């Protein structure tokens, strides 16, 4: 592709940027791309980086389709305009935090400057902090909104911008649509107000840490178990991210005295030099932590993602082997531990409830109901769990929530998934298990024996470009229009179409309204307890298949055989659906 082969839309957008007030270095980089990398220029400018329902995320670099101070600035200008249109106080307030990624501090400072230029009082964290502390700080500081600069577990080339509202949860309707419209109205960098009012920007740090840590310390359910097993070896890694200080500090506050670090990964570094991907869902991210665990005979290994909202867990079994828990398994252990101990301590709330997403294991609902606790379902995304907490506030008491993608929350003073809180509860659950001469893996088996053996798998199929988008639409359309009557000889009993907001009973042919908001998700429920959920990704060119199967488990000696049977069942289901 040569200069004169740039699309008309791209050429116009580049011209707007070159004739705007952006800095000289950015203009030089744009001109250099046009001359030497026209394909790169096309990719960087063919569209605007999308500000979606939760914010935006993208590759860093110059261009309208990249994360840089100008795209961050346009998003912040739109956010400022929306906040001032909705919050009828003399001076709205905002708080900003950022993670370890390259340019995160720069983007956070840029956000603070523009919010202040628009008359907002801004609290800016003095150094990197985890997402859940940002959520906590919004209400603690009495703010009307918050911004977290992070791209979660994405590769090092990415960064992102997540927006929170005054309840501490990520934005949902109507605020998400309102902010999107305001951001769309900012067409060029010239529309950004960069006239910073530095007196409106206030640095915060240790005082918020202390308040957050105080609330966390009140969650302990088994102090006697911790006291008895305080020296239990625990390996923890922040994977170069924000958990580096708060997670070890919280574990020590609870009473644990044998926290084993991975020093190379305690270094905050947006290049993530020791891992291919800083994703705690992937076992490869734990290679260095597992070396430590094997050398120290650690009971437990935990790792948090760069912004400290998700945690991966590996537990040691009685035979010395290690088991990597998936997100549903960790959630099941946490639900069981919390609900058991609340009941045992006589602290179960009368109107308590739990929340999970529709793609998360039904085992969580079974555990909740066995303790006479109501279980709610929400759409995929922790922001919907936060919305349910807000909806029930004052009438019912939130106990715990979780999603299969390694995010959990067990208190309402935070309104997003919290890996700091989760690490403390997981470690405490391990000490509680040891007080019963068990491991966390034994507790998991105990759950399966009591409620049924559940197994889940997520498969994502990547479809790049325009043809990929069309292929995903076609797959969803085929499954929606011609939903299977059975899969591998097992009857489909219910089809939940969250886009049409309708559930169809395949046996009686009765239709029921789905009260959750519209979402492009299909769900098949089967006569043997299998649940299959299918949805396009909201942030990547992927279609996702979530499969949950179950069987009975009569004794622990059956677990390997039953595990293999469930794996085979999942494989057959996936092959049947993907060919559709």
Under a CB-based contact definition with an 8 Å cutoff, are residues 139 and 145 in contact? Answer: no
311-316 and 352-357 beta bridge pairing? unpaired
Under a CB-based contact definition with an 8 Å cutoff, are residues 117 and 76 in contact? Answer: no
Cα 172 off chain centre by: 15
Angle, helices 8-18/38-45, rounded to nearest 10 degrees? 80
Closest CA to 368 of 400, 397, 395: 400
Under a CB-based contact definition with an 8 Å cutoff, are residues 358 and 378 in contact? Answer: yes
Residue with tokens 């491991």: 439
Known catalytic residues are 152
Q: How far apart are CA 189 and CA 396, in angstroms?
A: 46
Give the angle subtended at the CA of 120 by the CAs of 115 and 126, to the nearest 5°: 65
Torsions phi, psi of 462, nearest 5? -85, 135
Task: Name the β-bridge partners of 513.
Answer: 502
Q: How far apart are CA 555 and CA 563, in angstroms?
A: 13
Q: Which residues of 285-294 are buried (b: 16+ CB within 10 A; e: fewer)?
A: bbebbbebbe
Distances (CA, A) of 9 to 41, 183, 239, 311: 12, 19, 40, 42
511-513 and 502-505 beta bridge pairing? antiparallel
Can you point out the beta strands (E) in 305-357? 311-316, 322-324, 352-357
**Which H helix or E strand runs over 355?**
strand 352-357
Give the angle subtended at the CA of 86 by the CAs of 81 and 88, to the nearest 5°: 110
């Amino acid at each position: 592709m040569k200069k004169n082969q740039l699309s008309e839309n791209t050429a116009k957008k580049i011209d707007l940027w070159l004739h705007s007030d952006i800095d000289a270095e950015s203009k030089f980089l744009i001109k250099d791309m046009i001359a030497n990398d026209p394909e790169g220029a096309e990719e960087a400018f063919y569209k605007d980086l999308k500000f979606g329902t939760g914010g935006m995320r993208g590759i860093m670099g110059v261009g309208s389709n990249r994360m840089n101070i100008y795209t961050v600035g346009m998003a912040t200008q739109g956010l400022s305009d929306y906040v001032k249109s909705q919050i009828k106080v003399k001076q709205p307030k905002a708080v900003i935090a950022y993670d370890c990624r390259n340019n995160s501090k720069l983007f956070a400072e840029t956000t603070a400057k523009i919010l202040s230029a628009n008359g907002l009082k801004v609290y800016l964290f003095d150094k990197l902090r985890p997402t859940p502390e940002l959520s906590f700080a919004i209400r603690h500081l009495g703010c009307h909104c918050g911004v977290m600069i992070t791209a979660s577990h994405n590769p090092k080339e990415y960064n992102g911008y997540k927006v929170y509202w005054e309840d501490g949860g990520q934005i949902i309707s109507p605020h998400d649509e309102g902010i999107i419209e305001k951001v769309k109205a900012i067409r060029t960098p010239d529309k950004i107000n960069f006239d910073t009012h530095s007196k409106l920007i206030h640095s915060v740090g240790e005082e918020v840490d202390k308040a957050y840590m105080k609330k966390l310390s009140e969650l302990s359910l088994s102090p006697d178990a911790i006291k008895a097993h305080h020296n239990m070896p625990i390996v923890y890694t922040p994977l170069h991210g924000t958990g580096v200080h708060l997670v070890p500090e919280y574990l020590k506050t609870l009473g644990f005295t044998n926290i084993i670090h991975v020093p190379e990964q305690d270094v905050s570094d947006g290049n993530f030099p020791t891992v291919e991907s800083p994703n705690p869902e992937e076992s490869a991210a734990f290679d260095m932590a597992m070396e430590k665990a094997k050398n120290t005979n650690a009971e437990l290994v935990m790792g948090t993602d760069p912004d400290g909202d998700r945690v991966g867990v590996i537990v040691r079994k009685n035979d010395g082997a290690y088991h990597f828990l998936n997100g549903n398994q960790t959630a099941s252990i946490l639900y069981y531990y919390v609900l058991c101990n609340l009941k045992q301590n006589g602290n179960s709330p009368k109107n308590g409830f739990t929340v999970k997403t529709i793609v998360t294991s039904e085992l969580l609902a079974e555990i909740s109901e066995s303790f006479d606790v109501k279980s709610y379902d929400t759409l995929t995304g922790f922001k919907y769990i936060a919305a349910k907490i807000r909806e029930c506030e004052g009438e019912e008491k939130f106990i715990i929530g979780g999603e299969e993608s390694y995010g959990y929350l067990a208190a309402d003073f935070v309104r997003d998934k919290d890996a700091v809180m989760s690490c403390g509860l997981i470690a405490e659950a391990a000490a509680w298990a040891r007080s019963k001469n068990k491991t966390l893996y034994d507790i998991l088996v105990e759950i399966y024996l009591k409620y049924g053996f559940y197994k889940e798998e997520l498969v994502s199929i990547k479809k790049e470009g325009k043809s990929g988008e069309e292929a995903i639409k076609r797959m969803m359309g085929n499954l929606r229009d011609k939903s299977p009557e059975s899969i591998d000889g097992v009857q489909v009993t219910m089809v939940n179409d969250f886009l049409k907001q309708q559930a169809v009973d395949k046996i009686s042919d009765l239709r029921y309204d789905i009260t959750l908001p519209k979402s492009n998700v299909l769900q098949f429920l089967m006569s043997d307890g299998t649940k299959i959920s299918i949805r396009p990704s909201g942030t990547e060119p992927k279609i996702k298949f979530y499969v949950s199967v179950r069987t009975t488990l009569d004794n622990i000696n059956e677990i390997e055989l039953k595990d293999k049977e469930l794996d085979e069942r999942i494989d057959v289901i996936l092959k049947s659906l993907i060919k559709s």
